[in-house]
Structure 1
Amino acid sequence: MVKTKGAKMLNDSNSYGLWGLVVLNSAVFIMFAFSFFKPTTPRDWRTFGTYSAFIVALFAEMYGFPLTIYALSGWLQTKYPDLDLMSHNSGHLWSTLFGLQGDPHYGLMHLVSFALLGGGFYLLSIAWHVLYHAQRANQFADSGVYARIRHPQYVGFVLIMLGFLFQWPTLLTVVMFPILVVMYARLGKQEETEMLARFGQPYQDYLNKTPKFIPKL
């Protein structure tokens, strides 16, 4: 994420209320995903819109107002009396809850987060390339990553959101995540129904041999 630099770099009372960073980071991650996903249909825009809402909710708490920290402040102050709640590092709740030492930006949770984020954006990129050429040929996508799973773009969005949960969990995004996963699953089912009506038996054969979200080892 984009961060300002200084002697304490977001580790003091000025860690929040930085709405310019909220707008900047939200725009970067939304436009980055847009460049890969390129929504065209109403279903595409619903998918992209829910992802965008998750991103805005995340950065609004990361740099704007720490709603989760505020809601849990009583419990956190009791359990961790030495914790500076207004320190930006305190927002990395996994480090606090697991008692991890050192700068959380270099901790295990951040490394896992970066791996999930990278994997998610990579899936979006390679999936869009295959889908684009399939649509131009008036066919359904069944090559490349689509030969391994039927909905790589939805999986990509889920990986990105999961990556952010490893990095900066909030009450709102934790609640939103399973709802969005269910939404993507339903969108995938709707998409398959439409493709089956359009392409018939060849698409049914594709359904029979290709996993929906998790590839076969």
Structure 2
Amino acid sequence: MTKPRDDHAQIKLARRAFWTGAAFYGLIAFEFFYMATPFAAWFYAVYGPGLDLLEGVGPANWTIRFFLPHVSEATSSPLIAVLEPLGAALFFGGLAAFAIGAVQIYRAKIKRLPAVTGGLYRHVRHPQYLALIVSGIGMTLLWPRFLVLIGTVVVIFVYVALARAEERLCLATYPGYAAYMERSGMFLPRGWLPASPLRPAGAAGFALAFAAALAGALGLAFLLRHHAVASLVVRSEPEALYLAVAPIDAAAHAEVAALVRTSPEARALFPEEGALIAYVLPQTMYVAEIPMDLPAGRQFGHSVPRDADPARWKVILARPELPAGAPLTGLAMLREAVNKTALLELHLDLSADAVTATLPPPAAPFYADHQVPLF
């Protein structure tokens, strides 16, 4: 049996690892919060260079890509459509459960009570860690970069190591803790799982379990990404992949592409080899991640305007930035692109069958040229 002093040292080491991992994960996840604030551009100016650095490293640039849609609100997949609201429920539900657990813990500390074994702790020994795990999974669905997913898996395993070290200390400190462990589970109520994969024996077993969990999570994320991209509402033409940011019917989608081809300014930009990305969205929808004109009094957002005119659309033509040897057309091009450069904005009136305005890209895009979600 390990001595209490050794357990204290292990807890200190585990907590140090936790805060290191949490700081890294928090820095990544914080991107989600400031992207939704008026200070997003300023924060991105500080944070973006790190993403740009990863973008320029071929073997690592996949880590900054998104495996679920963020820009596009249009998808043909019921699964993809439900993941974002599910992520919000997990994120906020986990934070609420963590707060309840914190009240129980600090109440016991203030009153100098023994180990907390009631309330949230009745059937689960570490409900606060569980709550943070649930909240972290929710964050990963809300801001689905591969980098966030990697950070989430790292932090989860640090929680496991910290929980195991704390339990050894509790066994040496509280006489009834062994009986409590017999009737409760570490992160889930006892009996919910036949055998927990999160209790490997020894450091080698723990490292193997971590590697297996990370590989499994990344494998699932790559499958989700493939499915998400295949479920986007697109129209593939020789000159461009017309990606619908908002829902659009097939006839209107085809008319949009036909109208773009009538524009001399657009035709001058069509590449001799490969294709452009053409973002299609209502004229009154403004998405910061797609460089576009923002009229005075308007705000960026991701919601499709309820009063959007079904006949009035805009198209943002952008050149994809692709690794050497990447496919130059279709969905494969979108999967491989690591960034984009806006070239032209066109306003279309389908009822008049006309291009009503042609605008250059903004001189100072909201996120400059930093890597932001492509779809």
TM-score bracket relative to the smaller structure? 0.5 to 0.7
Cα displacement string for residues 165-201 of structure 1 (whole angstroms, at most 9, x for unaligned residues): 111122322222222111100100000001110113x
Give the structure 2 partner of residue 67 of structure 1.
Answer: 51
Specify every segment of 5 or more residues in structure 2 that has no aligned partner in the other structure, as ranges. Answer: 1-10, 59-64, 193-375
Alignment of 1:21-170 (within 5 A): 47=18, 50-60=21-31, 64=44, 65=48, 67=51, 71=55, 93-95=67-69, 100-101=74-75, 107-135=81-109, 136-170=111-145
Gaps (5+ residues) in structure 1?
1-40, 75-90
RMSD: 3.6
Q: Which protein shows a greater Rg? A: 2
What's 2:363 paired with?
none
Q: Distance in 1 between matches of 2:129 and 2:81?
A: 28
Structure 2 CA distance, aligned partners of 1:161 and 1:52?
13
| TM-score, normalisation: structure 2 | 0.36
What per-residue deviation string (whole Å, max 9, x for no partner) do you get for residues 90-126 of structure 1? x764127x99529xxx942220111111221111111
Aligned equivalent of 1:181, options 151, 156, 170: 156
**Structure that is richer in helix per residue:** 1
The count of corresponding residues between Structure 1 and Structure 2 is: 156
Structure 1 contact 92–167 (Cα < 8 Å) conserved: no
Matches within 5 A, 1:1-16: none
> TM-score if structure 1 supplies the norm length?
0.59
Query: How far does residue 67 in structure 1 lie from its aligned partner after superposition?
Result: 3.0
Residues 51 and 157 in structure 1, CA contact (< 8 A), matched pair in contact too? no
The structure with more strand, counted as a fraction of residues: 2
C-alpha distance in 1 between matches for 2:94 and 2:16: 18
In the TM superposition, what whole-angstrom CA distance separates every residue of 1:121-146 from its partner, at most 9, and x where no partner exists? 11111111111122232310101000
Change (3 A) 1:47 1:152: farther
CA distance 1:160–1:67, shift in 2 (3 Å): same
Q: Distance in 1 between matches of 2:102 and 2:116?
A: 10
Higher relative contact order (CA closer than 8 Å, sequence separation 6+): 1
Instruction: After TM superposition, give the deviation of residue 164 of structure 1 in Å.
Output: 1.2
Q: Equivalent residue for 1:20?
A: none
